[in-house]
Amino acid sequence: MPALYVVATPLGNLGDITLRALEVLKRVDIIAAEDTRHSQRLLDACGVQTRLIALHEHNEQSAATEVIRRLGEGQSVAMITDAGTPAISDPGARAVARVREAGFRVVPVPGPSAAIAALSVAGFDQGGFLFVGFLPAKSGARRAAIEALRAQTPTLVMYESPHRIAESLADLAATLEPTREIVIARELTKLHEQVVRLTLGDALAWLQSDPNHARGEFVLLIEGAPAREGLDLETERVLSLLLAELPLKTAARLASEITRQPRNALYARALELKQG
Ligand code: SAM
């Protein structure tokens, strides 16, 4: 049966390629790769002779058309990106959607992903995580994005490049509580792998304490907001803002309409806040 195999590849250490990934890459008719020159080195090192075609963010639609054409001819196709799992902050999702729409099978061949590798060594025990991917490049949009995440209780998982790591750490510390814990995981599975856990308030100083700390690729894991009994942080924020401007009853009613939380609970909390 023709199928598109979505194949995870190593983040840095070639030994992390899975046996199944190798078998699939050898057996498919063609491999669609984000950067064919980069992936050719991986294939050469693994003894895979299958031919490559390009599938990257700038040609994803036309490459998807080509993949569908080949599937229609009965061929099988693998898709890989430069590192880790395709479609995770990487091209691939649009091609996958097109292939599925066209009625062909899409088969995951799981393996490395930087987010999961970082989570596995972070030691955060918050039950869940929220994958954010890359924060926006511009500071205003980045701060707004961080602000929107402030009340989230799961561990926040972000990707960052060496060009923007300093700005992002500064904005995270300025926008979230500086006492929150962050795990900075850099160069995972590579020679200079480093995983540190510290507070957001100390993160920028750590980065700047050694030029090597800012090199490589980063996953940032940030402790989620503490879970509160009763109202969540966003509801508390809305209620406090309204309470500062309006009579108690009106503030509780409006907060209830905005947040869709029960009016009684908001009224009771508003009373508590008013009484100090
Ligand atoms: N699809 C990939 C995955 O499954 O992890 C992610 C691709 S995304 C374009 C690249 C980003 O992933 C980097 O900027 C970095 O944030 C993270 N990353 C990739 N390799 C890494 C590594 N070895 N150590 C730490 N972070 C890494």
Other residues' Cβ atoms within 10 Å of the Cβ of residue 270: 24
Residue 126 has pLDDT above 80, yes or no: no
- Please report the pLDDT score of residue 228 as a whole number: 60
- Measured between alpha carbons, how far is 140 from 116 in angstroms, rounded to an integer? 28
Using the Cα atoms of residue 21, residue 25, residue 30 and residue 34 in order, give the sign of their dihedral: positive
How many Cα atoms occupy the beta-carbon half-sphere of 17 within 13 Å?
21
Higher pLDDT, 187 or 124: 187
Of 24-28, 73-77, 236-240, 262-266, the poorest mean pLDDT is in: 262-266
Q: Ligand 1 centroid to 13 CA: how many Å?
A: 13
Edge-to-edge strand list for the sheet holding 30-33: 52-54, 30-33, 77-80, 3-7, 105-109
Q: Ligand 1 centroid to 24 CA: how many Å?
A: 23
Query: 13-24, pLDDT tens digit by residue?
Result: 999 999 999 999
- Measured between alpha carbons, how far is 50 from 78 in angstroms, rounded to an integer? 10
152 CB near ligand 1 (under 6 Å)? no
For the purposes of burial, counting CB atoms within 10 Å of the CB of 205, is it exposed (0-12), middle (13-18) or buried (19 or more)?
A: exposed
If you search the block for the tokens 């963010």, which residue do you land on? 57
DSSP state of 91: T
158 CB near ligand 1 (under 6 Å)? no
Q: Which of 46-50, 227-231, 258-262, 268-272 has the highest mean pLDDT?
A: 46-50
If you search the block for the tokens 């078998």, which residue do you land on? 23
- Measured between alpha carbons, how far is 212 from 141 in angstroms, rounded to an integer? 28
- Residue 266 pLDDT class (50, 70, 90 cuts): confident
88 CB near ligand 1 (under 6 Å)? yes
Q: Are 230 and 170 in contact (CB under 8 A)?
A: no
For the purposes of burial, counting CB atoms within 10 Å of the CB of 166, is it exposed (0-12), middle (13-18) or buried (19 or more)?
A: middle
CA 252 to chain centre: 36
SS3 for 14?
helix
Residue 225 has pLDDT above 90, yes or no: no
- Please report the pLDDT score of residue 227 as a whole number: 67
Q: What percent of the chain has pLDDT over 90?
A: 84
Of 122-131, 174-183, 211-220, the poorest mean pLDDT is in: 122-131
Query: Which of 9, 89, 161, 194 to probe ligand 1 with, by most ligand atoms within 8 A of CB?
Result: 89
Query: 33-91, pLDDT tens digit by residue?
Result: 999 999 999 999 999 999 999 999 999 999 999 999 999 999 999 999 999 999 999 99
Q: Ligand 1 centroid to 35 CA: how many Å?
A: 15
SS3 for 83?
coil
Beta strand spans in 34-102 (E): 52-54, 77-80
224 CB near ligand 1 (under 6 Å)? no
Q: Ligand 1 centroid to 270 CA: how many Å?
A: 44
Mean pLDDT across 255-263: 88
- Measured between alpha carbons, how far is 56 from 262 in angstroms, rounded to an integer? 48
Residue 140 has pLDDT above 80, yes or no: yes
Mean pLDDT of the chain: 95
194 CB near ligand 1 (under 6 Å)? no
Which two tokens mark 103? 């009625």
- Residue 275 pLDDT class (50, 70, 90 cuts): confident
Residue 229 has pLDDT above 80, yes or no: no
Strand partners, 155: 129
Q: Which of 55-64, 122-131, 144-153, 222-231 has the highest mean pLDDT?
A: 55-64
- Measured between alpha carbons, how far is 252 from 249 in angstroms, rounded to an integer? 5
217 CB near ligand 1 (under 6 Å)? yes
119 CB near ligand 1 (under 6 Å)? no
User: Model pTM?
Assistant: 0.85
Q: Ligand 1 centroid to 109 CA: how many Å?
A: 18
Q: Which atom of ligand 1 is nearest to the CA of 116?
A: 5
- Please report the pLDDT score of residue 162 as a whole number: 96
Q: Ligand 1 centroid to 126 CA: how many Å?
A: 22
Residue 274 has pLDDT above 90, yes or no: no
**Nearest to 173, CA basis, from 130, 220, 218:** 220
